[in-house]
């Protein structure tokens, strides 16, 4: 089962339709899924999952950052995890990186700078951005892609934890599919 975590400010918010449901549609093509709000996370739920996806939020929804310790159980589980936008920001903070103000909206060119199992070979792709924060890469993590000087994707060295700052559900659903097949 794939656990999809809604990081939005409250359960069943309208943002769920924009940031969570598109990920659920991609994942449910080949996998059983369960969607849970961050406030309802539990160790048994995470430990019973094959993979975890932390979804994005609306631009002014930063509650996940104010309650970052609620996500410690995701980190301590060891379950392969991918964070998208707000999810990447949360992973960066959980693993010792950070966030900084960087607003980016719209379709942008992204340079893949590291060959790897998630994004594939070095090349340029386009990705849809909708965020207020960039991330600093945690130590022992690998930057995978950049837009200008900003890191837009990273992974842990064992390829179990991935962060994607842009929204693959908008234009690059193959990234979500590839994570689920790793």
Active-site residue flag, 8 = no
Three-class SS of 134-165? EEECCCCEEEEEEECCEEEEEEECCCCEEEEC
Helix, strand and coil in the chain, % to nearest 5:
30, 35, 30
Among the options 85, 129, 131, 147, which is catalytic?
85
Catalytic residue among 18, 131, 147, 167: 167
- Catalytic: which of 18, 55, 129, 169? 169
Task: With beta carbons less than 8 A apart as the criterion, state whether 124 and 104 touch.
Answer: no
Whether 55 sits among the annotated catalytic residues: the reply is no
From 34, 61, 59, 72, select the one nearest 131 (Cα to Cα).
Answer: 59
Question: What is the set of active-site residues?
Answer: 85, 167, 169
């Amino acid at each position: 089962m794939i656990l999809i975590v809604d990081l939005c400010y409250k359960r069943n918010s309208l943002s769920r339709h924009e940031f969570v449901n598109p990920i659920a549609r991609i994942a449910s093509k080949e996998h059983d899924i369960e969607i849970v709000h961050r406030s309802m996370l539990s160790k048994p739920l995470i430990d019973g999952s094959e993979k975890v996806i932390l979804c994005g939020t609306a631009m002014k929804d930063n509650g996940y950052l104010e309650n970052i310790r609620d996500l410690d159980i995701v980190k301590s589980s060891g379950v392969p995890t991918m964070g998208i936008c707000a999810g990447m920001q949360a992973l960066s903070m959980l693993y010792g990186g950070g966030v900084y103000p960087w607003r980016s909206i719209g379709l942008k060119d992204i340079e893949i700078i590291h060959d790897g199992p998630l994004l594939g070979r070095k090349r340029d792709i386009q990705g849809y951005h909708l965020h207020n924060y960039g991330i600093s890469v945690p130590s022992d993590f690998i930057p995978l892609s950049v837009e200008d000087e900003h890191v837009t994707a990273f992974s842990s060295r064992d390829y179990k934890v991935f962060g994607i700052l842009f929204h693959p559900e908008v234009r690059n659903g193959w990234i979500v599919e590839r994570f689920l097949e790793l």
